[in-house]
Amino acid sequence: MDIAIIASSRHPIREPFAGGLEAHTHSLAVRLREGGHRVTVYASGDSDPALGVVPVCPAPRQLDLSEAARSDPSMLADRFVHDHHAYLSLMLGLRELDYDVVHNNSLHYLPIAMADALRAPLVTTLHTPPTPWIESAVTCAGGRVPFASVSQATAVAWEHAITVDRVILNGVDLARWPFVARPRGDYAVWTGRLVPEKGPHLALEAASAAGLPLKLAGPRPDPAYFEREIAPRLDGHEYAGHLSHCELAELVGNARVALFSPCWEEPYGLVVAEALACGTPVAAFDRGAPREILDPGSGRLAPAGDVAALARAAAEAIADVDRRACRTRAEDRCSHEAMVGAYVEFYEAVAA
């Protein structure tokens, strides 16, 4: 098939990834191409060139607003306006291109709202709970755009607005997250974006309560949050930085347990699948999708926001969970082969 993937205009699709969405997009594009499909990725121009990336907004279409436009009372934040212009330029440019299917894997509303302008059918993956702009576009699109969601929890969160056509769990490349039967470390690990909704401050408190040093890794897009909530809690713990894939796999694989502490309705939680692939058991707040990935053989769930319960769950996971069972769970539930195969079936059904 000839497939276009619409990705982020802000965050490059390359290592070290800004988040799970960028890692997912990279894996999907690479595996589709390896499967013999022609893939064009519309993303930030700083993305991995091996993906065959076309910038979402090429240089001639970059927006340079006049002083009159900027001084208008209706002027919104620069980031919003530039994102709007980037995706508007992209969708207008895609009107004349003959793809078999266009996959909207972005978090922007315009691909959904302008789907009818394209020659090719457009499918959208819902990666988050409802947001106002995307919900507006979804409402206007009615039933004309097919939707997938990354979990049943996300599908339920959207059911007031649309019917999700398919639930396709995100997958990980199991070969790039090697199994570690005997971890060398005596620590817990937390990975992801260090932002309030991911709750790393609560993971630090839980690790302290469990008597475990915690190593955190990931980008810090909210410096004020890091200085206010993370830095004061690092005594006895460590922030390892924003790591490359190889460094991250080694850190996760050699941990005794991975903590997952969402403070929102977590739409998926790719880091849970990555930890299981390494054989590292997971202790997680039961909020959103983690219960769709974990089972009693691979981790423990704690009531959302209950730090003491998360500490107990971590201790139980270390004592009772077999690492080989974690790897088997990842193979059965979280492989990128299963994810890509499900998307190809979805594309074929829509294109037909």
Tens-place pLDDT, residues 178-195: 999 999 999 999 999 999
- If asked whether residues 195 and 302 sit together in one domain, one would say yes
The answer on 180 and 137 residing in a single domain is no
Residues 14 and 131 in one domain: yes
CATH number of domain containing 117: 3.40.50.2000
Look up the domain containing 228 and give its range. Answer: 174-333
DSSP code of 17?
P
CA distance 262 to 203: 9
Q: Lowest mean pLDDT of 51-65, 113-127, 173-187, 319-333, name the range.
A: 51-65
Helix, strand, coil % (nearest 5) of the chain? 45, 15, 40
In this predicted model, what pLDDT tens digit does every residue of 210-265 receive, in sequence order? 999 999 999 999 999 999 999 999 999 999 999 999 999 999 999 999 999 999 99
Phi-psi region of 35 (alpha: psi -120 to 50; beta: other; left: phi over 0): alpha
**5-62 per-position pLDDT tens digit:** 999 888 899 988 888 899 999 999 999 999 999 999 999 888 998 888 999 877 666 7
Candidates 20, 17, 8, 3; CA nearest to 260 is: 20
Cα-Cα-Cα-Cα dihedral of 86, 89, 90, 95, to 10°?
Answer: 160
For range 261-282, the mean pLDDT = 97
Question: 10 Å Cβ neighbour count for 98?
Answer: 8
Look up residue 88 and give its two tokens.
């508007």
* Residue 94 sits in the same domain as residue 127: yes
- Same domain, residue pair 16 and 147: yes
Question: Mapping DSSP to helix (H, G, I), strand (E, B) and coil, where does residue 296 land?
Answer: coil
SS (H, E, C) 212-230: CCEEEECCCCCHHHHHHHH
pLDDT of residue 68: 85
| Phi and psi based region of residue 138 (left: phi greater than 0; alpha: psi -120 to 50; beta: remaining) | alpha
Q: What is the pLDDT of residue 141?
A: 83
Q: Are residues 135 and 217 in the same domain?
A: no
Claim to verify: residue 319 and residue 345 sit in the same structural domain: no
Q: What pLDDT is recorded for position 60?
A: 60
